[in-house]
Structure 1
Amino acid sequence: MADPGRTPLERARTPGPFASAPFRWLLTARTIATLGNAAAPIALAFAVLDLTGSAVDLGLVVASRSIANVAVLLFGGVIADRLPKHLLLVGTSLAAAATQAAVAALVLSGSATIPLLMLLSILNGAVAAVSFPASAAVVPQTVPVSQLRPANALLRLSLNGGAILGASLGAVLIAAVGPGWGLALNAASFALAGIFFAFVRTPFAVPADLADGAAPSRSVLRELREGWREFSSRTWVWVVVAQFALVNAAFVGAIAVLGPLVADDSFGRASWGLIIAAETVGLALGGLLALRWRPRHALGIGVGLVIVTALPIVGLALVPLVPLLVVAFLIGGLAIEQFGVAWDQSLQQNIPQDKLARVYSYDAVGSFIAIPVGEILVGPLAHSFGTTPVLLGCAAVIVLASLAALSTRSVRRLTVGVPGPDAAHPPTPTDPTPPYPAP
């Protein structure tokens, strides 16, 4: 019989992240959600194009989700630092299933309109804003500090595997029976993921100001200020976030809005799904590489490799041929995965756990805030100046932003692998104020 006074992490004896049951459930739930979510952007893009044929309308729909996501993210971080994360993930998964099921029903019934799709995108973006900080910040509660890098690599590897399968099946499904069924697949995957999130039991302590059923003594604004101090006090954090404000705006605008237009004008929708799947193959290969390659200056290397993600955009602009684009997207995925693993490890190892979700929310707001600008602007700019110049401009933004971040000393010199004094760690009985004690 397991000792009820010990956490799942203390009971785990087998080396590696899979020794922890909460990690295994987290991995399963997130992979299933990704399986359906990979098809959703492709399905939504072609649903809008089938409806109006307008890149401007497509930009408005995808930007609606992004705007809502950014608007709610900071509050999502506060909520995730104050509530049991597994229960929060159950609720957000079921809410996401409901919004995507509504979109699928509208598309399948032929009653979809741009305003309705924008409204449901807003709701879906708000739900995702609460889910993201919780799902990212729960990782260090499921594994020991020494297992953070392999845990993040395994998570991303599994998520990318789900994305490969989801994008491929989604592309075939969309081409065969229409985008509505791709959206229905997404709704079903969220519902199933919600069931598995219920088993991600991690230690959680009621915050001191909520003990004994008392009313909260700290305001939301105070908690946001605490998170901001953690975020802004580390130069390497806000510099990389500023880099990705530009990188994400350029990349998402180019791929999510202009990519489907290029596909419709050249190689076709089914091939576009396979090209996106090639990127996820690159991400999966990058995850395998990250499991074995553990450089001390992983963040600086990852930031430099972000430059490689300009290659797929240049390919779309100059040589929209399927074989070349498959290779370019694959290489881009492999490169960006080195950054992703290094970034998660750097945050989880250097930010205190009781503030980690809020720092993740500031990271997400900064990184995502310009995405709606990119999504909204690329359509009108391409209409005025042509698709090729706009795509090349997006590639240039990625390169210049990455070079600027790489020139910062703290980004290049940050080391990972050896836990620091304020490293994120699961609570133990010796912690004087454990942030997340057992239920």
Structure 2
Amino acid sequence: MIETGTPPSKGVWTRAFTLFFAARTVSILGDQMLIPITVTVAVLQAGYGVSGVGFALAAHTAPLAAFVILGGVLVDRLTPIRVMVAADLARVVIHATLVLSFVLGTPDLWLIITVMALSGVCTAAFQPGYASVIPRVAVDVQKANAAIRVAEALVAVAGPAAAGLILSVAPVSVVLAIDTATYALSAVFLLLMRLRIPRPESTASFRRDLVQGWHEFRSRRWLWNVIVIYMLFQVTVNGPSLTLGPSLITLDHGERTLGFVMATFGAGAVLGGLAAARFRPRYPLRAGAIAMVGGAFSLLALALHLPPPLIAAGYLLHGVAGAFWLVMFHSSVQTHIPPDVLGRVHAYDVAGSLVMRPVGQTAAGPAALWVGAAPVLFFSTAMLLVTVGLLLAAPAVRGLRNLRPGRSEIG
């Protein structure tokens, strides 16, 4: 049987959604083992320091932000499954190159950065398709997003812990090989979906499609309000925490502690996803913004040099907050945006959300060397609260209503 792109009338767990769920889960398993724990450990063991970690992580994020808009156009023109499978297969080749480089010795930092950058380009093609498929295979988009978020969080518990355990007894190349295999398996699951999404009949140029996506994005005040505010969040909060958090935990407490802390973050995300599946607030972005306050505790735990159990508790709350916000936001996007432009609009969302993260990731190391890690983390804590305040102060954001399952902004 070949399933169409029209959401079926039964529950979330259709054949197509189940295969899509499996593809997403196995792909995230590899990602969670790779970023940030394996990249962090590999760069530190190679002697490139905290700044090298920041450059390596930013090398993946920057191309993702730069090329995701083009990926969104490709998804809407060629259909999402085709683009996602091609991206997965390309990542198999790219990551296999990194595996080989570690098998043969210690690669130069420029090679690690190059591989991470190419992987980011592939992710830029994959991500808009991911967002476009969900409303085509599930009536209750919020529950579908919550189910995927819970799976991602469970994998985030297993992934870092497994990576830390493997790294303690085996070389980095083993973890990288597992990561490479997950992309191949993801491509297989996507092909097995046999999801028939008709290609658009429009003969508009690539540039016109790009411009149309921008107009659709710009016309929704609530969406670009969130993205502009989130750009501030990325450069002042998320970017620094992604660089300094794993680096400080590794240097102060070791790789196993890093794996444990990242696993507690994943456990928190499980709880946040489950809460999002059950709780359907009338104003989802308002509720999600309030939940984001929970992310402050992990930053404070690091800044105050608290013992590992308290750092883990902070990351647990961070996981709850982040998962709840992401389900509320992604569900809002997928239910308020027409399906035929969702890939492009989501791409503008991703680009705006991520474009400033590499700046924060790259600047965090030098800033910590200049003024110390604690002041940087205290500053990030304050800016997190500022971000929440700005989201709640924007009328279009706090006033956006939740749509009932099976409905969209266009009916």
CA RMSD, Structure 1 to Structure 2 (Å): 1.9
C-alpha distance in structure 2 between counterparts of 1:172 and 1:8, whole Å: 41
Greater gyration radius: 1
Q: Which moved more, 1:350-359 or 1:253-262?
A: 253-262
Superposed counterparts of 1:226-375, under 5 Å? 226-375=212-361
Distance 1:148 1:183 in 2: 33
Give 1:37's match in structure 2, choosing from 24, 31, 34.
Answer: 31
Deviations 1:207-254, CA, capped at 9 Å, x for gaps: 223xxxxxxx32222111111111111111011112221223334433
Partner of 1:16: 11
In the other structure, the counterpart of 1:135 is 130
SS state at 2:195 partner: coil
The question of 1:196 aligning with 2:182 is answered no
Check the 8 A contact 2:26/2:186 in 1, yes or no.
yes
Mapped partners of 1:164, 1:292: distance in 2: 22
Q: Could you say which residue in structure 2 is the equivalent of 1:183?
A: 176
- Residue 393 of structure 1: SS of its match in structure 2? helix
Q: % of aligned pairs identical?
A: 29
CA distance in 2, matches of 1:402, 1:100: 37
What is the identity, as a one-letter code, of the residue corresponding to 2:359? V
1:76 corresponds to 2:62: no
* Distance across 2 between alignment mates of 1:86 and 1:206: 11
Is 1:279–1:333's contact at 8 Å kept on the other side of the alignment? yes
8 Å CA contact 1:106–1:112 kept in 2: the answer is: yes
Aligned to 2:97: 102
State whether residues 168 and 273 of structure 1, in contact with CA within 8 Å, keep that contact through their aligned partners in structure 2.
yes
Match of residue 372 from structure 2: 386
Structure 1 CA distance for aligned equivalents of residues 130 and 323 of structure 2: 18
Checking the alignment, whether the CA contact within 8 Å between 2:92 and 2:180 is kept in structure 1 is: yes
| 1:105 aligned counterpart, secondary structure | helix
1:28 pairs with 22, 42, 46, which one? 22
User: Structure 1: where are the runs of 5+ without partners?
Assistant: 210-216, 426-439
Q: Secondary structure at the match of 1:296?
A: coil
The CA deviation string for residues 25-62 of structure 1, in whole angstroms up to 9 with x for no partner, is 10011001111210101101111111124222222222
Contact 1:8 1:21 in 2 (8 A): no
Distance 2:214 2:407 in 1: 20
User: Runs of at least 4 residues of structure 1 off by over 6 A?
Assistant: none
d(CA) in 1 for partners of 2:410 and 2:377?
A: 40
Task: Show structure 2 runs of 5+ residues with no match.
Answer: none
The alignment's TM-score, normalised by the length of structure 2, stands at 0.95
Match of 1:90 among 82, 85, 88: 85
Q: Does the C-alpha gap of structure 1 residues 7 and 206 become closer, same or farther in structure 2, counting only changes over 3 Å?
A: closer
Task: Give 2:113's aligned residue.
Answer: 118
Q: CA shift at 1:419, angstroms?
A: 6.5
1:159 and 2:155 correspond: no
Shift of 1:310: 2.0
Cα distance change on mapping 1:421 and 1:322 into 2, 3 Å: closer
Deviations 1:385-424 (A, max 9, x none): 1111111112222221221111111111111133798537
SS of the counterpart of 1:266? Answer: helix
Q: For the Cα contact (< 8 Å) 1:85–1:138, is it kept in 2?
A: yes
Q: Distance in 1 between matches of 2:333 and 2:98?
A: 35
- Per-residue CA deviation, residues 95-139 of structure 1 (Å, 9 max, x unaligned), is 112222222221232141011111111110100000000011110
Between the two proteins, the alignment pairs up a number of residues equal to 410
Distance 2:238 2:104 in 1: 29
One-letter code aligned to 2:65: V
Tell me the distance in 1 between the aligned counterparts of 2:314 and 2:16.
Answer: 36
Asked whether the 8 Å contact 1:164–1:277 carries over to 2, the reply is yes
